[in-house]
Chain A
Amino acid sequence: MNLKTTLAGALVVSTSWASMAVAQTDLTMWYHGGGNEVESALINQIVSDFNATNADYNVNLESFPQGSYNDSIVAAALAGDLPDIIDVDGPVMPNWAWANYMQPLSIDETIIADFLPGTIGRWNGELYSVGLWDAAVSLYARQSTLDALGLRTPTLDNPWTGDEFMAALDAAKASDICEYAFDPGMAWTGEWYPYAFSPFLQSFGGDIVDRSTYKTAEGALNGDEALEFGAWWQSLFAGGYAPGTSQDPSDRDTGFIDGKYCFSWNGNWAAVATLDAGVDDLLFLPAPDFGKGSVIGAGSWQFGISATSEHAEGANAFIEFALQDKYLAAFSDGIGLIPSTMAAAAMTKNYAENGPLNVYFALSSEQALVRPVSPGYVVAAKVFEKALADIANGADVADTLDAAVDEINTDFERNGGYGH
């Protein structure tokens, strides 16, 4: 091969590579999993696979610590510096969509036909976000505790009633098995309160806001059912069943494992660690039914597209690509959360038919209720958190809930009803 041929060949090859590179459009993506090695590896794998198979777009990933991710998004939105693809916590999505941080997705919706309801984010009738997983809460208990206290094991079809639950707590309190009968997790402040505790309120028949209009909390958060819930909630602490708001965070992490608490209200993300800690007769019980059915929270992190993205087609293509069962299963195996589809669950070690956490898939599909789908939820959630903490600390139930309703309604009015 002479010099001319070699140079000509090199020119052709380099031109081809260069034109391929030019043809690929760069997409930016922000993700909340900074610091989570497993999650980072998984999302990087999806990005890498997409970039390798898609000739038109190249995704550049930037990870953020979860605790500061939302602030970074809001700051970037103000500065006009949002990326193309973002991920968003399910209950926050309506606020970001309303604030025009996000645009609707235009993915093929047959892909998400079998997804768990909590993994799909809709606002104003349009699809804005889809998640690869959901999270669920259950009542942690030991079979040996139920046996010792002579309690029946509640099931998904036949959960404990409110009376049965309180009888279980009475039995636990009267025994010397544990220091506290119940650990609701008061040390976990923030979103844990509305996520974990509003389902109790909903089971009583109340709610954080009136979902028929989404314009007021009147009647939902201070009606008779809500007052009944409030009285029950206060009794947990006044009656010495549960540690209050001053709970030591370390007790929240290890109290159930150490036997300090007989029952613990906890998420599926803590299940593997509890099993690994040697609790070999661990049970994940459904939420008690206080009259309106057993309810648990739903909605976790989901993918969406920023309103300012000029490459929505590529961003939609990436999201569709990420929704493959193999990635849902990989995320579930990696970080322990519930995969969005049954097909993906069957591919996982924890949520497959005989997996140790299989019950969570059923809990999530049958009992999950998403938090109020409203831009005002971000404010209502904080108001609700404060109200529950105050009631736990002895505040008057009716006054506290009335004040919470006023605060939520004022926020609704200030924001013109958030477009509802």
Chain B
Amino acid sequence: MAAITPDNHRLRLIVRYTILTLIALIFVFPLVFMVMSSFKPDLQLLRDTSSFRAFLPVGDLSLDNYRDAFTRAPVATFIFNSVFVTGLTVLLSLLFCSLAAFSFVFLNWTGREVLLSIVLATLIIPFETIAIPLLLLVSQLPWIGWEGLELGWLNTYRVQIIPWIADGLTIFLFVQFFKDLPRDLIEASRVEGASWWQIYRRVVMPLSGPVIATAAILKFLVMYNQYLWPLIVVQQETYRPVMVGLGYYFQLNPAWGEIMAYLTVITVPVLAFYLVLQRAFIASIASTGVKG
């Protein structure tokens, strides 16, 4: 076996970082293209796509696309709607799915294995196959609001939130994580007289940071990128999310500069959310092998 000398160790590092840099560039270039293009007029943007200039801040640069993007559509409303719907769904999903997983893992009740199998089986059902039945269902569901009993959930925030709170993947993530927690901790807590709710809140959840981060990020991405569901259940502009709003820029002659400006703006909440949780997300991947 050849000895590892300082020279070949250095060479390996150079090769490794060169490969990693190239891979990083592949992922970063689309983002760079998006940001750079958002400052260019349409004709220049289209012409630059055939050269490396597409990735460089060259030519006639301005903030006009941003100004026009905000003029063309109620961007702030779309972003608020997406952030509100996504934020609330993520919070409720973490609560309800972790409770469900807690029940599956720590409580003894008849049929839990069967029910967990059914929950996991829902992972293989594409949403598109249930979209229409779900639409028919929510269009007839009652709701008691400020104005009394209403029939139908269309054109509301709740129709974008409630059907998405519980899902098989999030429950699965929590179940897998909870199974790896030391059972002694739970049993010791029971011996100490803690209730199941206290164990959930004081013992299990404080130890679940990584899986919470993972589930939150995955759920955030699913919700923030929602398109089909809001498209069919929301007809009023005041409730539309960002992805449906993207359609405002695809006219007969698409406004490519504005599209890039809009995409740049709506990417900010996603990046911010990921940056806040990235450390816990990476820890979760390292400890559980689960990734998006």
Contacts and interface: CB of A to CB of B under 8 A. Distances in A.
Interface string A5-45: 00000000000000000000000001000111100000000
Q: Most A CB atoms within 10 A — which of B46, B72, B152, B245?
A: B46
Contact of A34 (B132, B139, B154, B237): B237
Contact of A66 (B47, B132, B245, B251): B251
B65 to A, nearest CB: 14
Interface in B204-244: 231-233, 235-237, 244
Given A66-B250, A79-B139, A37 B233 contact: no
Interface in B45-91: 46-47, 49-50, 71-73
A62 interface: yes
A68 B71 CA distance: 20
A393 B250 CA distance: 27
A75 B152 CA distance: 14
Interface in A60-85: 62-68, 71-72, 75-76, 78-81
Q: Which of B136, B154, B244, B248 has the most CB atoms of chain A within a 10 A radius of its CB?
A: B248
B136 A71 contact: no
A80 B231 contact: no
Nearest to B258: A35
B30 interface: no
A253 B237 CA distance: 30
B248 A248 contact: no
A65 B250 contact: yes
Max chain A C-beta neighbours (<10 A), residue from B132, B139, B231, B252: B252
A247 interface: no
Contact of B247 (A67, A81, A250, A253): A67
Q: Which of B50, B154, B251 has the most CB of A within 10 A?
A: B251
B48 to A, nearest CB: 9
A254 B73 contact: no
A232 to B, nearest CB: 28
A250 B135 contact: no
B43 A254 contact: yes
B249 interface: yes
A250 B237 contact: no
Nearest to A254: B46
A67 B250 contact: yes
A267 B251 CA distance: 14
Contacts of B195: none
A269 B154 CA distance: 35
Contact of A75 (B73, B233, B237, B245): B233
A148 interface: no
A79 B248 contact: no
Interface string B143-169: 000000000101000000000000000
Contacts of A66: 247, 250-251
B236 A62 contact: yes
Residue of A63, A76, A250, A267 with most partner-chain B CB within 10 A: A250
A89 to B, nearest CB: 13
Interface residues of A, number: 30
B231 A68 contact: yes
Contacts of B231: 68, 71-72, 75
A250 B232 CA distance: 31
The size class of the interface chain B forms with chain A is 20 to 34
Interface string B124-145: 0000000010011001000000
Interface string A268-279: 011001000100
A72 B229 CA distance: 10
B251 A75 contact: no
A258 B48 CA distance: 13
B228 to A, nearest CB: 8
B237 A68 contact: no
B244 A68 contact: yes
Given A72-B232, A250-B49, A254-B46, A79 B135 contact: yes
Q: Which of B135, B232, B253 has the most CB of A within 10 A?
A: B232
B146 to A, nearest CB: 20
Given A35-B73, A269-B253, A81 B235 contact: yes
Contacts of A269: 252-253
Given A67-B250, A254-B47, A37 B71 contact: yes
A66 B50 CA distance: 29
Interface in B243-292: 244-253
A79 B154 contact: yes
B250 A72 contact: no
Contacts of B251: 35-36, 66
B235 A65 contact: no
Given A34-B237, A253-B46, A78 B250 contact: no
A68 B139 contact: no
Nearest to A188: B252
B248 to A, nearest CB: 3
A160 B252 CA distance: 28
Contacts of B253: 253, 269-270, 273
B139 A80 contact: yes
A156 B135 CA distance: 51
A72 to B, nearest CB: 6
Contacts of B43: 254, 277
A361 to B, nearest CB: 19
B237 A62 contact: yes
Contacts of B236: 62
A66 B250 CA distance: 8
A277 B43 CA distance: 10
A34 B245 CA distance: 9
Contacts of B237: 34, 62-63
Contact of A35 (B47, B49, B135, B248): B248
Closest 7 CB pairs of A and B: A35-B248, A65-B247, A75-B232, A250-B46, A79-B139, A67-B247, A65-B248
Interface of B: 43, 46-47, 49-50, 71-73, 132, 135-136, 139, 152, 154, 231-233, 235-237, 244-253
13 contacts: A30-B235, A35-B73, A35-B247, A65-B247, A66-B250, A71-B232, A75-B135, A80-B139, A81-B235, A250-B47, A254-B43, A254-B46, A277-B43
